Amino acid sequence: MSSSNSRSIPDLFRDAVGQLAKLIGNEFELARAELSDKASQAGRAAVMIGAGAVILIPALVILLFAISSALIRAGLSDPIAYLITGAGAVVISAALIGVGLSRLSGGALKPAVTLDQVQRDKVAAREMVR
């Protein structure tokens, strides 16, 4: 029953452990690469938020004065014109911040590929042990 191609149980176990170690190392490499990609994505989103805020501030001030001036010329009192203009600015700012925050959400930054691969590898490792 013993042939030159058959291997002993310790040899098979050693190979299985070696393959499992290599698999875990590959998982770490995949996780590192995916987390690096997600960190880059978060960095780009933060840059977009910052650039939008920097450009928006002076432009918004000028636009707010122009809108308020137009509302005053249309017959509204000064305080009402400024209040309407300020409320519009708040809505626009909230929308820009919301877009930036959605790009930083946990779901968008989740290392989904790595997590899926770890689940598949966990099943494969269980099968190897059996």
Q: Tell me, yes or no, whether 68 lies in a domain.
A: yes
Q: Tell me, yes or no, whether 1 lies in a domain.
A: no
Alpha carbon dihedral 83, 84, 90, 91, in 10-degree steps, equals: 160
DSSP output for 59-119: HHHHHHHHHHHHHHHTT--HHHHHHHHHHHHHHHHHHHHHHHHHHTSHHHH--HHHHHHHH
pTM across the whole model: 0.43
Check residue 78 and give its pLDDT.
93
Task: Tell me: pLDDT of 59 over 60.
Answer: yes
Question: The domain containing residue 92 runs over which residues?
Answer: 9-129
Contact 113, 35 (CB under 8 A): no
Compute the average pLDDT of residues 51-62.
Answer: 86
Number of domains comprising the chain: 1
Compute the average pLDDT of residues 65-88.
Answer: 93
Check residue 130 and give its pLDDT.
66
Task: Tell me: pLDDT of 1 over 50.
Answer: no
The radius of gyration computed from the CA coordinates of the chain, to the nearest angstrom, equals 29
